[in-house]
Structure 1
Amino acid sequence: MQKIDRLIYLIAIFSLLFWFLFSILKIVAPTGTVTTDWGPLRLIPSFYGVYFETQPVSIYGIATIRNTAFFTEGPMYAFVLSVGLTSRIFLLDKTIKSSLLLMVTMITTMTSTAIIVIILTLFFSYLKTSRSQSINALKQLMLPFFSVILLSVFVFILEQKTQGGESFGVRMDDVHSAIKSWAQHPIIGNGIGNFQSLISNMNSVRIQFKTPIEIGFSSGLFQVFALGGIALTTIYVYPFFAFVVAQFKRNGINAIAFPTILLTVFTSSIVSYEWFFLVIVTMLYANSLKI
């Protein structure tokens, strides 16, 4: 994980710098364009082939650009940064202070997943015990106040997603279509890659005149649940719980924090078949074995 941590940190530094200089200050015009079929086929601006403006967004009426580095979208970049942040804090035992740059970069992806991961990371980090008994006592005293602050931020984000309408509605429709699809073949699912089984249970207004790639899906966990049934879902989810059981005695709250946050990301992002995610899940399983 040390090498992965250094690589993600390096990407975060350069993407944050490029985002600020190119997308915010606009000191340089795009040096080219590339074609992407992630969603509707379109051209996206490129800067020297290392930074791309893939997702213009509007936040409270202000037009801006998500920091997606060289990834296809903000949520995918947020996933990589989330793994980097949580592995630094809970596997490599580094401090929040040394990870501030990662958290700032996550915020520039402008995704709710990134903010939720930061909130959970701060919460679990707060729960970590200190060598000083007085600090531990102070933490216990302040825990209700700290929890209320983080919960308030979480509720605010949820309210914004709900009021935003389309994004929240799409996620709810994805969950609804996944459950309906799963009910048809609960044990083995509808088949990996059988996206049509999900589309057939989606809101007809949402899918009208769109191709499958334009429709998309928002939850990796529910995608696996619908297409792989209980069998494949068990294979995916078991390592998370096995890791906690095997590592808790030695690593305490760290053993709970990393898989819990990763499972949250899995639920809110479509990373089911991404090799990086599969490597992390395999690592969780490997570290749950008693050799």
Structure 2
Amino acid sequence: MKSWKGGKFEYFLYILVSLFILLSSFSIYYLYNKKVIIAFGICTILFSFFYVFYKVKLEKKKIIFPFSAIVILASVCLLVLCWKGISAYGIYVTIVFLLLVLLIHLVNTLGDLHLLVNAFVLTVVCGACISLLFWFFGSIVHLINPSGTIDLFWGTEQTVNNYYGLYFEPQYSDTFIGRFHLTCRNSFIYPEAPVCCFMLISANLLNNLFIKNKTSNLILLIAILSTLTVTGFLYVMALVLSSSINSKTKSHLKVFAQIISFILILFCVLFFASSLLSAKMESGSGVDRAAHMMSELNAFRKSPIYGFGFNTFTDGSSNSITALLADGGILLFMLYYCPLFFSIFKMKNKDDKIICLAFIFVFMITVVHYLPVSVFLICCLCMHSNCKQVF
């Protein structure tokens, strides 16, 4: 992997781009300061784009122009496709889609994709460490007290604890580990734990594909479990299954230890996932989500090609499959899922394929398709599978 010391200024720019992705993916900061974060992000991405473009050799720049034309055309088609439900947010998402895809392609042309991914993973790992610190010592054992409260409107208006602007408590839990009572989900700077979980899973996926840093992997996995989400537990279970199936150890003692560990971890993950799923169904959330899914499928049947417009059904949805089909029909659905499955098809490593399949499952059952982190992740996956030729 390329060392960041070879391009300190580029690495700094990539850190800023990563911060924008974290903050703009529906963080609490974004909900309170949309214009500031959007302006910061667009300026950062544009400056990074022109700086990297300046560094790319002349013969490689010829590759960029036809690709840029294709991406701009795709962005215009996205706007036209979703024009019935277009809004300021829809225009913003399209602009971010355009800029991020062009930047990542340019960074890959320069040969700095690992550097960009490294910056993103490092940024998320630092955030995971901060969130775990306040989650355990603040929310769970109450050794750290909140510095204040904020009023948060996310579905309903509520007052949530604020820990020095670095961690918030928007979602509580009622999960028991033996006699240990977990009363709060780790949501970090996000209004709900599933969004935080998806961000952590994204960083974990990129770390496993590009960097393979074991320390980062462990921190991210612990943080994923601390969100106390069914999605997080299922993702960790998939990684455990993959690790156990592909283990190449020959020692009988180690094999036995691995089997016992696998059974214990599998049991724990299934137990907590079952507990969380049962609690969700008992609260009525599961019934509401099922009803919303049926309305999305009915909308797709009425307009299977173009859908009913940008973000029309996504608000309140429970998965990206029916939400995309209802919003933009088959065309919008293919814009997201074709690159994902094509990336897996082009991968040669079986472990990478299993991890990516686990991520696609997470992406399917989480409503994050319009967030910048989703665009960033899908682009990186395409570049990983076949560098510059996938696009």
Cα 1:42–1:232 change in 2 (3 A) is same
Cα 1:98–1:7 change in 2 (3 A) is closer
Q: Secondary structure at the match of 1:218?
A: coil
Q: Is this contact kept in 2: 1:162–1:168, CA < 8 A?
A: no
TM-superposed deviation, 1:86: 2.3
Q: Secondary structure at the match of 1:45?
A: strand
TM-superposed deviation, 1:288: 4.2
Aligned to 1:171: 289
Aligned to 1:78: 197
Q: Secondary structure at the match of 2:186?
A: coil
- The answer as to 2:56 corresponding to 1:56 is no
Residue of structure 2 aligned with 1:42, choices 158, 180, 185:
158
Q: Secondary structure at the match of 1:42?
A: strand
Residue of structure 1 aligned with 2:350, choices 235, 249, 252:
252
- The answer as to 2:130 corresponding to 1:32 is no
- Cα root mean square deviation, aligned: 3.1
Over the matched positions of the two proteins, sequence identity in percent amounts to 25
Question: What is the CA deviation profile of residues 38-86 of structure 1, one whole-angstrom value per residue up to 9, with x for unaligned ones?
Answer: 1112221111111111112223695711111111110011001111222
Q: Secondary structure at the match of 1:59?
A: strand
TM-superposed deviation, 1:281: 1.1
Aligned to 2:305: 187
Give the alignment's TM-score, normalised by structure 1: 0.79
Q: Is this contact kept in 1: 2:233–2:272, CA < 8 A?
A: no
Question: What is the CA deviation profile of residues 167-221 of structure 1, one whole-angstrom value per residue up to 9, with x for unaligned ones?
Answer: 33233333322211211111111111223xx7xxxxxxxxxxxxxx6xx222123
- The answer as to 2:360 corresponding to 1:263 is yes
Mapped partners of 1:38, 1:159: distance in 2? 25
Structure having the higher Rg: 2
Cα 1:286–1:100 change in 2 (3 A) is closer
Which 4+ stretches in 1 moved above 6 angstroms? none
Mapped partners of 1:19, 1:33: distance in 2? 16
Give the alignment's TM-score, normalised by structure 2: 0.60
- The answer as to 2:210 corresponding to 1:112 is no
Q: Secondary structure at the match of 2:150?
A: strand
Q: Is this contact kept in 1: 2:319–2:367, CA < 8 A?
A: yes
Q: Which has the higher helix share?
A: 2
Mapped partners of 2:272, 2:164: distance in 1? 38
Q: Secondary structure at the match of 1:46?
A: strand
Higher relative contact order (CA 8 A, sep 6+): 2
TM-superposed deviation, 1:87: 2.2
1:198-213 to 2 correspondences below 5 Å? none
Mapped partners of 1:148, 1:44: distance in 2? 35
Question: Unaligned stretches of 5+ in structure 2?
Answer: 1-116
Q: Secondary structure at the match of 1:91?
A: helix
Residue of structure 2 aligned with 1:282, choices 371, 379, 383:
379
Q: Is this contact kept in 1: 2:207–2:216, CA < 8 A?
A: no
Equivalenced residue count is: 265
Moved more, 117-126 or 268-277: 117-126
Q: Is this contact kept in 1: 2:318–2:366, CA < 8 A?
A: yes
Aligned to 2:83: none
Aligned to 1:126: 244
Question: Unaligned stretches of 5+ in structure 1?
Answer: 199-212
